[in-house]
């Protein structure tokens, strides 16, 4: 038998991520693909779409470039909701940005998370129900789409505030889309997954959001994740950074702790999208000034980007 020398590069994986994995589902505490194999999606999040410096996340060429050069499998469309210029004040613009990202993801054969990027979504429940119900009717038949109805709830009650909100939005989604995964935000900026585990939302193909920033969050937050997994929850880290929880305003990166998180997510089959596809001085801005909108960013990586890209490959 001829063995491949260790120095040789393995052959490229055939097909796009969606061609390989197809319809996703929750299986126990992890995610499985169309063949029942466990899958860990890895990708990046957009900036708040209302605040991005350029339409990096909406560019199809850039998405294909990330797929082919970074091994990106999923992109998260972080649609700001509450601030000026976001969805509540300019719904047509915000919806257009999200739908562009969805359509590009379908063309590129990658998965897309539709993120209601809010901190007080319970105050606008009717708008969220209408938004997700409409998109589920038009895009819910596609295997590409993952729904995220509430990015980061604040320190409010899971039982009395967040869970009822999720139940209302999930019902609207399920009226048109019976099977695509829905990722549910948890209290305290999506950290208290153990609290959600004590009273989970009823339904199928539901996952729960855990966010971390490695200069701020360490083993104690992973312990909350472990407790949630022991209780039967499936987790999805839809946002993380190798920085302080403010996204790295000081420019510092904490890579050893970030590696501990990467190892933990891999061991538990937890999918992730890293924060964030934009230009700026924060640690979590993936691109440096001058990065073209269309991709080709090998010489434009910034902050924690080399670490993120290395762990997507």
The whole-number pLDDT of residue 229 equals: 98
Sign of the CA dihedral with 134 first, then 275, 266, and 310 last: positive
pLDDT at residue 7 above 60? no
Backbone phi and psi for residue 285, each to the nearest 5 degrees, phi listed first: -70, 120
In 3D, which of 300, 189, 312, 223 has the Cα closest to residue 262? Answer: 312
Q: For 73-232, where are the E strands, in sequence order?
A: 74-80, 111-117, 145-148, 182-184, 206-213
Distance CA 8, CA 45 (A): 32
State the virtual CA torsion across 257, 181, 186, 313 in degrees, nearest 10.
Answer: 10
For the cut 90, the answer to whether the pLDDT of residue 4 exceeds it is no
**Per-residue confidence (pLDDT) for residue 14, from 0 to 100:** 75
- Domain 18-312 class, CATH top level: alpha beta
Tokens representing 92 are 């047509």
Q: CB–CB of 25/254 below 8 Å?
A: no
Question: pLDDT tens, 43-102?
Answer: 999 999 999 999 999 999 999 999 999 999 999 999 999 999 999 999 999 999 999 999
Q: With a cut of 90, say whether residue 254 has pLDDT above it.
A: yes
Q: Is 47 exposed, middle or buried (0-12, 13-18, 19+ CB in 10 A)?
A: buried
60-69 and 91-108 helices cross at what angle (nearest 10)?
40
Question: Does the annotation count 257 as an active-site position?
Answer: no
- Over residues 143-198, the pLDDT tens digits come to 999 999 999 999 999 999 999 999 999 999 999 999 999 999 999 999 999 999 99
Give the C-alpha separation, 202 to 182, whole Å.
12
Residue 67: predicted pLDDT: 98
> For residue 143, what are its two tokens?
């295997």
Predicted TM-score of the model (pTM): 0.94
Of the candidates 52, 58, 239, 257, the residue annotated as catalytic is 239
C-beta separation of 144 from 105 below 8 A: yes
Helix-helix angle 125-139:163-174, to 10 degrees = 30
Q: Which residues pair with 42 in a beta bridge?
A: 272
| Catalytic position from the list 58, 148, 152, 257 | 152
Which structure tokens are listed for 129? 């129900």
Mean pLDDT of the chain: 95
Asked if 52 is an active-site residue, the reply is no
Q: How confident is the model at residue 13 (pLDDT cuts 50, 70, 90)?
A: low
Residue 9 has pLDDT above 70, yes or no: no
The CB density around residue 148, as the number of other CB atoms within 10 Å, is 27
Assign 171 to helix, strand or coil: helix
Instruction: Give the pLDDT band (50/70/90) at residue 11.
Output: very low
């Amino acid at each position: 038998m001829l063995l491949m020398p260790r120095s040789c590069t393995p052959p490229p994986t055939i097909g796009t991520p969606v061609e390989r994995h197809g319809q996703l589902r929750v299986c126990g505490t992890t995610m499985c693909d169309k063949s029942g194999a466990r899958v860990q999606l890895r990708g990046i999040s957009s900036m708040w779409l209302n605040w991005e410096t350029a339409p990096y996340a909406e560019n199809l060429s850039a998405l294909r470039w990330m797929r082919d050069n970074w091994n990106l499998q999923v992109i998260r469309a972080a649609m700001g909701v509450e601030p000026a210029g976001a969805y509540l004040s300019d719904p047509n613009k915000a919806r257009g940005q999200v739908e562009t990202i969805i359509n590009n993801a379908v063309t590129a054969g990658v998965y897309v998370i539709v993120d209601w990027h809010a901190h007080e979504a319970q105050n606008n429940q009717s708008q969220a129900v209408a938004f997700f119900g409409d998109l589920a009717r038009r895009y819910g038949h596609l295997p590409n789409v993952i729904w995220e109805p509430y990015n980061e709830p604040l320190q409010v009650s899971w039982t009395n505030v967040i869970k009822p909100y999720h139940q209302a939005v999930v019902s609207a989604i399920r009226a048109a889309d019976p099977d695509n995964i829905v990722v549910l935000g948890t209290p305290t900026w999506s950290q208290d997954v153990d609290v959600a585990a004590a009273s989970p939302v009823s339904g199928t193909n539901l996952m729960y959001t855990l966010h971390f920033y490695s200069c701020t969050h360490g083993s104690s937050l992973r312990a909350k994740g472990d407790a949630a997994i022991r209780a039967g929850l499936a987790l999805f880290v839809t946002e993380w950074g190798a920085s302080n929880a403010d996204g790295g305003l000081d420019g510092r990166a904490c890579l050893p702790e970030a590696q501990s998180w990467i190892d933990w997510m891999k061991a538990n089959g937890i999918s992730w999208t890293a924060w964030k596809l934009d230009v700026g001085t924060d640690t979590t801005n993936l691109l440096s000034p001058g990065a073209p909108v269309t991709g080709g960013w090998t010489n434009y990586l910034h902050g924690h980007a080399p670490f993120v890209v290395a762990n997507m490959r």
